[in-house]
Chain A
């Protein structure tokens, strides 16, 4: 499969960055209850690409997000952003969290303006203007003075996108951002987000457990194995941009989906089989007792 051609109209000045994970490992727990969650994980996110991480539930996707965002550090290996080692959180990488992480005590507007105001990035008037512009852009012009709890699920995600984008990150990290949205708003949010991404192709790391969503959005899929997470397959999505829903009906997509699902099913069976085996062994021990 080939990489979808990057349109030449792309503005290469914004949000273009390369992320490299090199032999990254992270486990939790004391030695006697050790659990390797990420082991020798290596992959790369190309500048201007939307890379989707897909993997079985609990395989370590959020752990990877925490490592790239800098909330957590790998025990071995390293993560590079444009060749520089990541050592902690920074405004060059913004995370859109699974459920809304807007601060409930601030209005939508104050949430969006939070980062630049905290850092004192430029004059207040400029920050305010940019916050207004972004809120209009994500369709929340009339909801600036509302608190996050007064917004619908979809509006909260859009506000969160605006809050991340105002910081002009080099990389946008999204950890199952649309999980929990209802069946009506999820496709709307996907399309909305696609348009936003395709406007300037800010490098994006997108975590999802929905294979359809991944294919619809991504340039590449990184399919992870069961815990400990390792790369099981990398699939390029050759669909052109702008993406449209009807593209999802092509035989190409059907083939990719079949392939990806086969791998995921395989991994899911492994974890299932593994736990059934462990359970059965435990039962034997219990029954062997007098």
Chain B
């Protein structure tokens, strides 16, 4: 046979146990129970503070001003059966995803073009860098005037929030690709298109997802602020930002907190979605 026999790698021991589901693994980890205990302690303290206020009229700073978690839960139970509440979710998600997806569609090619073409970079990078430091919310008045509808201006501002982050990440990621990958591919006969599609694009994917995760966070910030500023459109379902704002106007602390928790959940779901997409698209990143 072959003369090369040394240093044969060992075959990994075969797995005899059943692969456990993600959920099973989560609930059997100590970290999960510690996290749950932390949340419970927090809720108990909060409830106790509200109880003290009600029975002894003793106000613990900050906590004491809050309605008890049981009251918030009651308000939540009331709210979640109303279609208006869910329309707020739909409205906000529509804006977040609208702005975000447009930002990805325009930002990724723009960032890649900046990275691979010197002339393109020379022309477009300076104006980009001047516009980038302007906070998205500073665009609100101008875009309210510029765009025909409120909805369009909110989506535009949301788009800006994600766009700059995505472009900067894509540009940085593509520019820091190890030159040896490009050289190895060139030796093997890669042309310009191969270099782009086989090296630069996959090499930039991790940065694209980093940019997307950060951009998604910014997008939620911008949407909520814009919804509060613009009144969230005319109808009742004006988004989660409008939900909080109108609860504030109506003086319902319980509803404000329900709105805040809803946003927390919505933000978490959005970043979980991006993480999930990232793991699907980049299996090598999950490998250790």
Q: Given the known inter-chain contacts A89-B183, A101-B181, A192-B4, please indicate yes or no for A115 contacting B9, CB distance below 8 A.
A: no
Given contacts A118-B188, A139-B8, contact A199 B181 (CB under 8 A): no
Q: Do B287 and A149 touch across chains, with their CB atoms under 8 A apart?
A: yes
Instruction: Check if B2 is an interface residue, CB within 8 A of chain A.
Output: yes
Determine the chain A residues whose CB is within 8 A of the CB of B6 once the complex forms.
188, 191-192, 195
Contacts of B3 in A (CB 8 A): 195, 198-199
Chain B residue contacts of A104, Cβ below 8 A: 284
The reply on B280 being an interface residue by CB < 8 A is no
B148 within 8 A of A: no
CB distance from A242 to the nearest CB of B (A): 8
Closest to B286 in A: A147
Contacts of B187 in A (CB 8 A): 69-70, 89-91, 93-95, 115, 167
Pick out which of these stretches binds chain A: B20-28, B154-162, B194-202, B262-270. B194-202
Whether B186 and A71, one on each chain, are in contact in the complex, defined by CB atoms closer than 8 angstroms, is: yes
Q: Restricting to A183-233, which residues have a CB under 8 Å from any CB of B? A: 188-189, 191-192, 195-196, 198-199
Q: Flag whether A124 is at the interface (Cβ < 8 A).
A: no
Distance to closest chain B CB from A238 (angstroms): 22
A137-B4 Cα distance, complex, nearest whole Å:
7
Whether the Cβ atoms of A101 and B178 lie closer than 8 Å is yes
Docked-complex contact B288 and A150, CB < 8 angstroms: yes
Q: A94-B187, A103-B202, A149-B284 are in contact. List 19 more A-B contacts (CB 8 A).
A: A69-B183, A71-B183, A88-B186, A89-B183, A91-B189, A94-B188, A104-B284, A105-B202, A106-B202, A106-B284, A114-B198, A118-B198, A137-B2, A188-B6, A188-B7, A192-B6, A195-B3, A196-B4, A198-B3
Chain B interface (Cβ within 8 Å of chain A)?
A: 2-4, 6-9, 11-12, 178, 180-181, 183-190, 194, 198-199, 202-203, 205, 282-284, 287-288
A-B contact pairs, 28 of them (CB 8 A): A70-B187, A71-B186, A88-B186, A93-B187, A95-B183, A97-B184, A101-B180, A101-B181, A101-B184, A103-B198, A104-B284, A106-B202, A114-B185, A118-B190, A138-B4, A139-B4, A139-B7, A140-B9, A142-B12, A147-B284, A149-B288, A150-B287, A167-B187, A189-B7, A191-B6, A192-B6, A195-B6, A198-B3
